[in-house]
Amino acid sequence: MFNSFSIKALKTILILVISVTVFSCKKETTLTFSTTSILTDNETVVEVNIPKAEGNTEAAQAINRTLENYTNMALTVDSANTMQPTIEDNITAFNASYSTFKTEIGKTLLTDLPSWEALVDGEISFQNESIICIVMNSSINTGGAQGIFNIKFFNFDATTGEELQTKDLITDVEAFTTLVKKHYDKELETGYEASNLEPNDAPFSFPENLGFSEDGVIIFYDRSSSLSNDPLEFTISYTIANKYLKF
């Protein structure tokens, strides 16, 4: 009787230990994020708000490196200077570039030089056990008629932090391209009615990178080189896109 009870008790304890261990492993492999926020307002105005993967795992470190690299590249506006290793260093370099430019151009200007501004922002648009999609955007104004704007979707393997490419996300790229083209044409028909543009002003090409949200696959074109200069964005629902996705 005692032995039977002991065996049952040991089995129960073993099941509990295994359950706790499995739960802990799942919890550890689910990345959580905070926000890196930096605001400097001196001669220039620089604001950075980007996601930061918590923990010291390789996945967290890989994701953070990619997002920080995007930020650093956006802040490197002076071709005479190389990109610095940290965001703070690149903000310092951004300020120094403005000071140098202000000194040189100030010799010929009769008015004060407008302050330079830089904004780098990011947010998680989709996350599950397989992938993490983060959309990053930057706006850099160094006094020109138009600022420099950029939007990019980064898709990461949730386990390794490796950046995923289209071939890693889509089962049949050719078939999915046909699907995107169908939606693209439909979107442009509506857009052209409003803007009086001709279809040849925006020839189709597959987007450089795909985004994901709770609603579906995000297709985004910045169209900065088109005559309209307006971004084009639409979402293909998962009910349609799921059969092409690897996750």
Predicted structure pTM score: 0.82
Cα atoms found within 13 Å of the Cα of residue 204, Cβ hemisphere only: 15
Of the two residues 214 and 148, the one the predictor is more confident about is: 214
Is 88's pLDDT higher than 80?
yes
DSSP string, 71-85: HHHHH---TTSPPPS
Residue range(s) defining the domain that contains residue 26: 1-30
- Asked whether residue 61 falls in the same domain as residue 150, the answer is yes
Of the ranges 24-33, 74-83, 188-197, 232-241, the best mean pLDDT one: 232-241
Is 89's pLDDT higher than 80?
yes
- Cβ pair 14, 115 in contact under 8 A: no
Indicate the residue among 143, 164, 185 that finishes a domain.
164
Is 180's pLDDT higher than 50?
yes
Main-chain phi, psi angles of 206, to 5 degrees? -70, 140
Amino acid letter, 176: F
The DSSP bridge partners found for residue 240 are none
- Asked whether residue 138 falls in the same domain as residue 38, the answer is yes
- Assign residue 229 the CATH number of its domain: 3.90.640
Of the ranges 26-30, 107-111, 164-168, the best mean pLDDT one: 164-168
Is 224's pLDDT higher than 60?
no
Indicate the residue among 164, 198, 230 that finishes a domain.
164
Contacting residues for 182 by C-beta, under 8 A, at least 6 apart: none
Is 132's pLDDT higher than 50?
yes
- Asked whether residue 37 falls in the same domain as residue 147, the answer is yes
Cα atoms found within 13 Å of the Cα of residue 22, Cβ hemisphere only: 6
Distance CA 247, CA 235 (A): 17
Indicate the residue among 139, 164, 189 that finishes a domain.
164
Is 246's pLDDT higher than 60?
yes
| Torsion angle of C-alpha atoms 194, 196, 202, 203, degrees rounded to 10 | 110
The CA-based angle 88-90-96, given to 5 degrees, is: 110
User: How do beta strands 45-53 and 117-127 pair?
Assistant: parallel
The CA-based angle 36-156-153, given to 5 degrees, is: 70
Q: Which helix (H) or strand (E) holds 146?
A: none
- Asked whether residue 105 falls in the same domain as residue 155, the answer is yes
- Asked whether residue 37 falls in the same domain as residue 136, the answer is yes
pLDDT at 27 (0 to 100)? 44
Q: How many domains does the chain have?
A: 3
Task: Give mean pLDDT, residues 166-186.
Answer: 96
